Amino acid sequence: MSTAAIIPAAGLGLRLGGETPKAFREVGGESLLVHAVRGLQAATAADLACFVVAVPAGTEDAVRKELEPYAGDARLLVVAGGAERADSVRVALELVPVDGIDCILVHDAARAFVPAAVVERVVAAVRGGASAVVPAVPVTDTIKRVSTAGEVVDTPDRSTLVAVQTPQGFDPAVLRRAHATGGAGATDDAMLCERLGVTVLTVEGSEDAFKVTRPRDLLLAEALLADRRLT
């Protein structure tokens, strides 16, 4: 049995700014998307057999060509994404083969520097019987719930909060059932599973799996990569 990876990479990166869609922005001379594919490939225990990448419409052929050298023996499929992240995941999911796949990962191109150990932890938890698995890190700020008027409503107990990352891993049948319900308002795939009443397990994430979202994240990405190249 093998793993399939869906990579939603069709976002515009409005918070990052610039002319180029975020997944094509370069760090250390390579696009975030290339870093993301390489990061998943480094997780050898995941047995990746297939990548399905959702990209901005019109860029499919160029991306296929760019990623081919990094896909190794895995099958590479590139598809035009949708309006929201959940739409991009859903169109990609339709292309994931049913036979021979016991785990589907959904991994943001924007979380391009996830360590292999995190990927392998997620896959191992799915193979160990979990239906849905998310990597998580502790929240370090005090979080406030606020009203629309900007007034603090309350302060949730921080020890019960975590920030979740990708790749998120799923039993294929569960992920298909979750996306069949539609993705309205869902900012991650685990949320769709939660709506079905499926238990979502957390495993240890990593600060390196941060999401490139705002301009200063690119500085952090350059520094992280430079440090990795040194060590």
Ligand X SMILES: C[C@](O)(CO)[C@H](O)COP(=O)(O)O
Q: Which residues bind ligand CTP (CB under 6 A)?
A: 8-16, 22-23, 54, 81-85, 88, 108-110, 211, 213
Nearer to ligand X among residue 16 and residue 97 (C-beta): 16
Q: Does 85 bind ligand X (CB under 6 A)?
A: yes
Q: Are 36 and 107 in contact (CB under 8 A)?
A: yes
- What DSSP assignment string belongs to 179-194? HHT--TT-SSHHHHHH
Helix residue spans in 4-143 (DSSP H): 32-41, 60-71, 85-93, 116-127
Rounded Cα–Cα distance for residues 173 and 158 (Å): 33
Rounded Cα–Cα distance for residues 75 and 225 (Å): 27
- Which one of ligand X, ligand CTP, none interacts with residue 9, CB within 5 to 8 A by kind? ligand CTP
- Which one of ligand X, ligand CTP, none interacts with residue 22, CB within 5 to 8 A by kind? ligand CTP
Nearer to ligand X among residue 84 and residue 120 (C-beta): 84
The structure tokens 């040194």 sit at 230
- Which one of ligand X, ligand CTP, none interacts with residue 88, CB within 5 to 8 A by kind? ligand CTP
- Which one of ligand CTP, ligand X, none interacts with residue 15, CB within 5 to 8 A by kind? ligand CTP
Q: Cβ-closest residue to ligand CTP?
A: 11
Contact residue for ligand X among 92, 188, 208, 218 (CB under 6 A): 188
Contacts for 164 with CB less than 8 Å, ≥ 6 apart: 134, 135, 136, 188, 190, 202, 205
Q: Does 195 bind ligand X (CB under 6 A)?
A: no
The one-letter amino acid code at 128 reads G
Q: Does 162 bind ligand X (CB under 6 A)?
A: no
The residues that touch ligand X, with contacts defined as CB under 6 A, are 85, 108, 164-166, 187-188, 211
